[in-house]
Amino acid sequence: MTNTVCGNRLNEGHTVFIERKIAGRMFGEQLRHFLALDGWTELRNQVRYVMVLWLIRGCYSDIVRYPLL
């Protein structure tokens, strides 16, 4: 992973954090918690999807060498 890719992901994560903080201030903390839970669920589903693809393609050794979870 290059610095550019890592930097972009960090910026995106920070942007989502700030968006959720603003939504929490505007519409209440319950919405902020709901958005965070939804984001966590989506992340978990994406990680599972990638792991299944790796297993289907026979790249199990990559998962063991570089675990995602």
pLDDT confidence of residue 1: 45
Q: Buried b / exposed e across 11-45, counting CB within 10 Å, b at 16+?
A: eeeeeeeeebeebbeeeeeeebeebeeeeeeeeee
pLDDT tens readout for residues 4-60: 555 566 678 888 889 999 999 999 999 999 999 998 998 898 888 888 877 777 665
The CATH number of 3-65 is 1.10.390.10
Of 35, 2, 30, 1, nearest to 18 (Cα)?
Answer: 35
Based on DSSP, count helices (H) and strands (E) in the chain, helices before strands.
3, 0
**In the chain, where the domains are located:** 3-65
- 12: Cβ contacts below 8 Å, ≥ 6 apart: none
pLDDT confidence of residue 55: 77
